[in-house]
Amino acid sequence: MQVSVENIGSLERKVHIEVPETRVASEVSNRLQSMTKTTKVQGFRPGKVPLKVIDNRYGEQVRKEVIGELVRKTLVEAIDQEKLKPAGQPLIEKIDDTAGKALAFTAIFEIYPEIILKPTEKLKFEKPICEISNQDIDGMIEKLRNQHRELKSVERASQKGDVVNINFEGFINGEAFEGGKAEKYDLELGSNSFIPGFEDGLVGRSAGEEIQLKLKFPKDYGKEELKAKPCEFKVTINVVNEIHLPKVDKDFVKKLGLNQEDEESLKLEIKKNMEREVELSLRQQHKDMVLQLLYKENKIELPRSLIEGEHNRLKDELEKNLKNQQGIDRKKIASESESVLIEQAKKRVSLQLILAEIIKLNDLKADPKKVREMVEHAASGYEDPKSVVDWYYSDQKNLAEVEMLVLEDNVIDWVLEHSNVVEKKCSFDDIMNKRQTA
């Protein structure tokens, strides 16, 4: 077999293969010979059909089958011989299978790029860490108290910290705008839930008052059509409510579904829960931070076929998510999302290649114990966890997905261990707020 490789692009290869006619003829002859033992032909006893008869009847069909198999088989042999790593399905063209001549054909495909990673010790990370303080615990207790607050109506004028129940409608140039109207809406004064000036304009007001507020939407307001627009709101105060927070006692603890007997025990339990939340949040933030820097610092030329494959998967995911949503222009959203999806596909493919290279270079393995822990954690949310665990371990494909997640975690740990890391102390709120906005 003769093989020649032509570089037709930085990652594109054209492979020309010639298979000797003797090999083709031998394969065809062997196939026909075996058919004489099994093929039934009228006028001949089973196993006694002459080779010439089989050749006349089936020779052309058998040759086509053999050619197809040889093309696939010799292409694999050639790729292995030349130590090529195809990144996509080869395109077979120009098959010359003229009888009496060598079988010749050409295959075009992309190969995986050579990956040269930036030395890990040159990567710099600012790694957020968090220790739960007494102030954090007290703040959490206040949040829990606020979640179980009671509203009691008062006859006095409103003040900051009160919750007013209001009807309101907004206008621009005398015309009501979409989303600017509500009735019996509870608004905590001082919460900064509305545009600047709205809540301040309701301080010192009593139930039954009707107020007109002339305001202006901020320049960075979320809706483009309302940015920096002068507006007017007509507001009616229905009720002024005072907030009453529960005492931290046994009744309050029961409302939280806990069994602690005193405030100190409650604080210890809350601290444990906060530490679990912080650990999960920090783990994800560290992972996002490492992946983002690996992507930024290791630019790789990507095969188009890999980008296209990942892009198609992302499009399918988007279409599934939009399928059951009513009142939206799916085609418009899909069109507007196209460039974003392409960039996401490039990032995903890059990170897949980078992570695979780190795993290979450092011989990282998925610890079976950690795989088991991850499987059991995933199964714990189901009614019958054991059957879910058995399902994972009954199919190597299912388990391989979990093993890949464990390997990914191993990469994150390895990179953080071998890079230049500076720890940055953060509060509980800083960590949790960052998770919510990520």
Domain contains 201: yes
Judgement on whether residues 362 and 276 belong to the same structural domain of the protein: yes
> Residue 298 falls within a domain, yes or no?
yes
pTM reported for the whole predicted model: 0.75
Looking at residue 389, its amino acid is V
Domain boundary among 110, 126, 161: 110
- Does any domain span residue 193? yes
Angstrom distance (rounded) from CA 87 to CA 65: 27
Domain boundary among 189, 219, 244: 244
Q: Are residues 53 and 19 in the same domain?
A: yes
- The reported pLDDT for the residue numbered 320 is 85
**CATH at residue 41:** 3.30.70.1050
Domain interval for residue 10? 2-110
Residue 7 sits in the same domain as residue 99: yes
Q: Does 131 fall in a domain? A: no
- Per-residue pLDDT, 255: 83
Q: Say if residue 201 is in the same domain as residue 267.
A: no
In a domain, 249, yes or no: no
Report pLDDT for 435.
64
| Inside any domain, residue 238 | yes
Domain of 288, CATH number, reads 1.10.3120.10
Instruction: Clarify whether residues 341 and 226 are in a common domain.
Output: no
Give the model's pLDDT for residue 155.
95
Q: What is the pLDDT of residue 390?
A: 94
187 and 215 together in one domain: yes
291 and 429 together in one domain: yes
Q: Count the domains in the chain.
A: 3
Write down the pLDDT at residue 436: 58
284 lies in some domain: yes
What CATH number is associated with residue 196?
3.10.50.40
Query: Is 358 found in the same domain as 292?
Result: yes
Per-residue confidence (pLDDT) for residue 327, from 0 to 100: 66
Shared-domain flag, residues 13 and 70: yes
Question: What is the C-alpha separation between 359 and 375, in angstroms, rounded?
Answer: 21
Last residue of a domain, one of 83, 110, 137: 110
- How high is the pLDDT of residue 284? 92
Do 240 and 280 have their domain in common?
no
Domain shared by 368 and 429, yes or no: yes
- What does the pLDDT read at residue 112? 96
Same domain, 267 and 415: yes
Q: Is residue 145 part of a domain?
A: no
Print pLDDT tens along the chain (438 aa): 999 999 999 999 999 999 999 999 999 899 888 888 878 887 787 777 888 888 888 888 999 999 999 999 999 999 999 999 999 899 998 899 888 899 999 999 999 999 999 999 999 999 999 999 999 999 999 999 999 999 999 999 999 999 999 999 999 999 999 999 999 999 999 999 999 999 999 999 999 999 999 999 999 998 989 999 999 999 999 999 999 999 988 888 888 887 777 788 888 989 999 999 999 999 999 999 999 999 999 999 999 999 999 999 999 888 888 877 766 777 777 777 888 999 999 999 999 999 999 999 999 999 999 999 999 999 988 989 999 999 999 989 889 999 999 999 999 999 999 999 999 999 898 898 876 555
